[in-house]
Amino acid sequence: MKIYVLVNFLTVLFPVLLSFERRVSYFSKWPAVFISIIPTAVVFIVWDMIAVSRGHWGFNPEHVYGIRVLGLPIEEMLFFICIPFSCVFILECVSYFIRPRRLNIPRFVFIAISAAAVLTAILVWPREYTAVVFVSAGIFFSLGGTLFYRTLTDANYWISMLIVIIPFVIVNGVLTSLPVISYNPEHISGIRLGTIPVEDAVYNLVLIGSVLASYRFINADFSDPDKTEP
């Protein structure tokens, strides 16, 4: 089995096996999970196609099968389903075991972070991957101060995002150390966390953060932390 397929398989293995555990009952939430994943996946797949065409990164043929869809390895397509699926599972587990609590974060904080991210993108140009990833972060945090404000001020959301760092380091560490994915040094800052380009950390924040925020936004079972406070 090729490495990239194996990474995707292992990522979803335990969330799928534990989906029928009666306390979290993740399988019953699958419709909302996939409704949340698919729009974000489409955006990131289009981004991926453009990035590959512009030479931001490429895939090692030794670690992927020859099946391609829209110019991308099928494993890369599955990545945008498997990783978010497992991360929403983490959010559901955290939400089951930890009581919701609202964080006192003013809206302007998210807007300020958004502005700082966009400014960073301007300053790092023409390193395209670095610039684009910071623009995407700017969009994400601007939505955090508006449409997804309730979600991004929920403590369980950020606890889940912190837990996600562990599988992020493992998965991206494998993909970048072999490497399965190679980056063009002309389009990145060159700053790495081990073998992982620092841009990937921001990329992960936007990808997973968007899926979790979308899931909470559309999920009818999401309880408002304000209503559960004494």
pLDDT range class, residue 225, cuts 50, 70, 90: very low
Which is more confidently placed, 224 or 194?
194
Q: What is the per-residue pLDDT across 203-221, written as a single tens digit (0 to 9) for each?
A: 999 999 999 999 998 874 4
Q: What is the per-residue pLDDT across 141-155, written as a single tens digit (0 to 9) for each?
A: 999 999 999 999 999
As a dihedral over the C-alpha atoms of residue 82, residue 211, residue 69, residue 3, rounded to 10 degrees, the angle is -30
pLDDT range class, residue 17, cuts 50, 70, 90: very high
Supply the pTM of this predicted model.
0.93
DSSP string, the chain: --HHHHHHHHHHHHHHHTTT-TTT-GGGGHHHHHHHHHHHHHHHHHHHHHHHHTTSEEE-TTSS-S-EETTEEHHHHHHHHHHHHHHHHHHHHHHHHS---B----HHHHHHHHHHHHHHHHHHTT-HHHHHHHHHHHHHHHHHTTTTHHHHTBHHHHHHHHHHHHHHHHHHHHHHHTTSEEE-GGGS---EETTEEHHHHHHHHHHHHHHHHHHHHH-TTPPPHHHH--
Say which amino acid occupies 35. I
Q: What is the per-residue pLDDT across 163-214, written as a single tens digit (0 to 9) for each?
A: 999 999 999 999 999 999 999 999 999 999 999 999 999 999 999 999 999 9
Q: What is the per-residue pLDDT across 43-83, written as a single tens digit (0 to 9) for each?
A: 999 999 999 999 999 999 999 998 999 999 999 999 999 99
